[in-house]
Amino acid sequence: MIFGNRSLGVHLLRGTLGAAALWWSLSTIDSSWVPSLFLMPMALWMFKGCPMCWTVGLFESAAHWIHRRNEQAMSDT
């Protein structure tokens, strides 16, 4: 299973949006559970699972980015 994205920027954006949705869903659970009902699955979808899965994907995305950059450098020479 692959947790990373092709672009490091896209992965960081998904993490930011997932963290915001998670924070918002946990902060509104005291007043009303309806926003949490929709925001928690959205946070899990943005993280591609749990926050640990997102972290593993971050390392995968960074490794993919470094590998692609090294391949371009080798093909230029």
Say what the pTM is.
0.78
Which structure tokens are listed for 44? 């899990």
Please give the Cα distance from 42 to 44 (Å, whole number): 5
**pLDDT number for residue 64:** 87
pLDDT tens, position by position, 57-67: 899 988 888 88
**What is the distance between the terminal CA atoms of the chain, rounded to a whole angstrom?**
34
pLDDT tens, position by position, 5-52: 778 888 999 999 999 999 999 999 889 889 899 999 999 999 888 889
* pLDDT beyond 90 at 73: no
